[in-house]
Amino acid sequence: MAEARCDPLYPDDEKRRKIALAEARATSGFLRIAQEYHSAFGAGDLNNRIRHLVPDMDYQPGDLHKRLLRLPWADVFSTNWDSLLERTASEVMERNYDIVRTPIPF
């Protein structure tokens, strides 16, 4: 995913691109690349890029997702770009979860 963000940020600077990719191995470096991408191309483009790189509907919830949602949680928070837990909630009859989606502006 870091490469997909670095390529358009540094199209003509191979050295800087390699440094950014090496730094992206750490969480702070990866977040910095996301911030640079956001600054260069905007929030909408960043969100679209992430949606493209995380093919959510290519995956189906599994038994582990059901088992997690059957635990006695008061609330479940997910900040992932997938909807596996959300899609599992309707299959877990023992618990009642309301899905709240609040996009956070950058």
Q: What is the spatial distance between Cα 48 and Cα 46, in angstroms, rounded to a whole number?
A: 5
Interval 52-94: pLDDT, tens: 888 889 999 999 999 999 999 888 888 777 899 999 998 998 8
pTM of the model: 0.60
Interval 15-62: pLDDT, tens: 877 777 777 777 777 788 888 889 999 989 988 888 888 888 999 999
Q: Which of 5, 4, 14 is nearest to 38 (CA)?
A: 5
Q: Which of 43, 10, 9, 5 is nearest to 24 (CA)?
A: 5
Provide the 8-state DSSP code for 104: P
